[in-house]
Amino acid sequence: MAENRICNLLGIEYPIFQGGMAWVADASLAAAVSQAGGLGLISSVNAGTEAVRNEIRKCRELTDKPFGVNIMLQAPNADEIAAMVVEEGVKILTTGAGSPVRYMQMWKDAGIKVIPVVASVALALKMEAAGADAVVAEGAESGGHVGELHTMALVPQVVDALNIPVIAAGGICDGRGAAAAFMLGAEAVQVGTRFLAAEECNVHEVYKEKVIKATDISTIVTGKSLGHPVRSLKTPFSKTFARMESDPSVSKDEILAFGSGALRKAVQEGASDGSYMAGECAGMVKKIEPAQDIVEDIILGAYRIIESYCNDTM
């Protein structure tokens, strides 16, 4: 492939990020993806700020390749995490579920490459003006916290509005999806759901099984009534959550209490009352395999598609 601005900016071999999935994305997964030539990301949502610091240190022991940290901006310890990553000399940050403007100066002064996840053109423009190095445009096919627009419409509109490079996310889990994202003008892709089934991913076996058994219609978005829509696998838990949301006799506090801690319980315990966050492409994830195979299948698959398209049409 021709020169790629994301690979040049971050010093990575392949233009693919592993999503910084809350409670999931630890040093083991991030290091495996980085070792394979992509960008591994550690989630800031873990058992507190010191636990995240430990994951950063572990990751450095596992790989000398670039990796980053994803900062969940709505977390109560976001301020602490924002300062800790500077102390630890992290070089690459992505952010999610909000605007990171309040931290931008501190991070830029520390020489950090900052790549906010955005779900709209308006926020993307704000991020570029604030000094972001790139943005991840994440469509609502994604697992976890989602915006309103979907990848096919969001990515080209963000690409058209910005000068900085755009990474596409949401619904991408193989070479076809990555090739499509490049066609939309993205310069890299971010993949979450498929990495749930990576050998190096430490989610509970039950979580992996649920992803592998999923079909095209296995996910549901809940939490809209709370202002925090989340896509997860349909389970008795998520269906109950949805019913509570549509029942006027159930208060917001009751719904919040019902959902509290549910993602951690799914990731660590495979619990029946857990929240199994996953994207719409879960139905395309068919096996557990090394992160390196996933990275190569997606990127080399995309390159093959683009090459054959060029050969056939030029």
166 touches ligand TUI (CB under 6 A) = no
Which residue is closest to ligand TUI by CB? Answer: 144
Residue reference for tokens 């951690």 = 264
104 lines the binding site for ligand TUI (CB under 6 A): no
Whole-number minimum distance, CB 124 to ligand TUI, in Å?
10
Cα 304 to Cα 12, 202, 301, distances in angstroms: 20, 31, 5
Least Å distance, CB 27 to ligand TUI, is 19
**66 touches ligand TUI (CB under 6 A):** no
- Cβ proximity to ligand TUI: between 38 and 144 the closer is 144
123 binds ligand TUI (CB under 6 A): yes
Given candidates 7, 117, 197, 305, which one binds ligand TUI under the rule CB under 6 A? 117
Residue type, 112: I
Contacting ligand TUI (CB under 6 A), which of 54, 86, 88, 98?
A: 98
Candidate list 41, 134, 263, 291; residue touching ligand TUI; CB under 6 A: 263
Rounded to a whole number of angstroms, the minimum distance from the CB of residue 140 to ligand TUI is 8
**Under rule CB under 6 A, residue 72 binds ligand TUI:** yes
- Of 10, 27, 30, 45, the residue at the interface with ligand TUI (CB under 6 A) is 45
Where do runs of H (alpha helix) occur along the chain? 5-10, 27-35, 49-62, 78-87, 101-109, 121-129, 151-161, 175-183, 205-213, 236-246, 252-259, 262-269, 291-313
Is 125 or 250 the residue whose CB approaches ligand TUI more closely? 125
Q: Are 56 and 88 in contact (CB under 8 A)?
A: yes
Q: Of 137-145, 156-164, 280-288, 300-308, which segment contacts ligand TUI by CB under 6 A?
A: 137-145
How far apart, in whole angstroms, are the C-alpha atoms of residue 248 and residue 258?
Answer: 16
The structure tokens listed for 61 are 């022991």
- Segment interacting with ligand TUI, rule: CB under 6 A, options 95-103, 150-158, 197-205, 292-300: 95-103
Q: Give the residue, chosen from 132, 203, 230, 278, that forms a contact with ligand TUI under the rule CB under 6 A.
A: 230
What is the β-pairing status of strands 92-96 and 113-118?
parallel
Residue number, 191 or 305, with CB nearest to ligand TUI: 191
Nearer to ligand TUI, 218 or 232 (CB): 232
- CA nearest 176: which of 156, 191, 155, 197? 191
The b-or-e profile of 186-225 (16+ CB within 10 A means b, else e) is bbbbbbbbbbbbbebbebbebbbebbeebeeebbeebbee
- Which residue type does 218 have? S
Nearest distance from residue 61's CB to ligand TUI, in Å?
26
Shortest Cβ 188–ligand TUI spacing (Å): 16
- Coil, helix or strand for 231? strand
Query: Rounded to 5 degrees, what are φ and ψ at 182?
Result: -65, -40
Residues in Cβ contact with 47 at an 8 Å cutoff, skipping those fewer than 6 apart: none
Q: Is the Cβ of residue 59 or residue 123 nearer to ligand TUI in the bound state?
A: 123
Residue placing its CB nearer to ligand TUI in the complex, 175 or 207 = 207
∠ CA(154), CA(71), CA(232), 5° rounding?
Answer: 60
> Does residue 144 bind ligand TUI (CB under 6 A)?
yes
Q: Does 229 bind ligand TUI (CB under 6 A)?
A: no
Residues that bind ligand TUI (CB under 6 A): 22, 45, 72, 96-99, 117-119, 123, 138, 144-147, 230, 263, 277
